[in-house]
Amino acid sequence: MDIPPQIPSDQTPPPNFQSFPSSQPKSNSNSNLGIIIGAVVVVGFCLCLPILGAILFPVFAQAKDAARRTQAISNLKLAATAVIVYTADYDDRFPPTMGENRGLTQSLSPYLPSPNYMVIEDTPVESNPNLASKKSTDVEFPESTIMLYCIPEAIRNSAFVAATDGSAKRVEPNDLFINISNNTFTVPSK
């Protein structure tokens, strides 16, 4: 065993001088306190996370539904514009394929960027068969006569209609069913 050299008291020890450890043990209370605080933070986070999830998930679902509704109205408005341009090209007459999904999509293909605009959330856009080959000037109330409509199941409590004047809006599905089943094809007022 090497004995360290003795240094006189009036001199400072060199930087690599090793002294014997003190006999008093260090306190671990600071390190224990840090562990306890960390554990409390983790437990608190684990308890708050499900509560935040329960609050935020419905908000995200509503935002997703709102985005779907907006996209549906946009697609229907574009399809309605395609029908209006078609009527302008064919002496103000609606396509003779009104009421036929495939036929109408083919008739409107030169006026639509993609046939996907005739489908909303996997539901094909339907059309008013009463307008087939009818002159657009013969429609008495263009703002309230349904030209195109869609009732997608993927979008809760929503149906979408486009009137012969080119406007599009969201309506209640039950109101739309009534107007279609009695063959009036008028835009529900609600």
pLDDT in tens, 64-107: 888 999 999 999 999 999 999 999 999 999 999 999 888 999 99
Residue 56 lies in a domain: yes
Over residues 32-44, the pLDDT tens digits come to 888 888 888 888 8
pTM over 0.85: no
Q: Is 106 exposed, middle or buried (0-12, 13-18, 19+ CB in 10 A)?
A: middle
Residue 64: which domain range?
52-181
User: In 10 A of CB 26, how many CB atoms?
Assistant: 9
Residue 15 lies in a domain: no
Quote the CA–CA distance of 150 and 166 in Å, as a whole number. Answer: 15
Number of folded domains in the chain?
Answer: 1
Over residues 129-171, the pLDDT tens digits come to 999 999 999 999 999 999 999 999 888 888 999 999 999 999 9
User: In 10 A of CB 83, how many CB atoms?
Assistant: 25
Whose tokens are 């001088």? That residue is 17
Residue 66 lies in a domain: yes
- How would you classify the pairing of strands 168-171 and 126-127? unpaired
Q: Which two tokens stand for residue 174?
A: 């039950």
Residue 158 lies in a domain: yes
Residue 100 lies in a domain: yes
Nearest-CA neighbor of 74 among 5, 120, 11, 124? Answer: 120
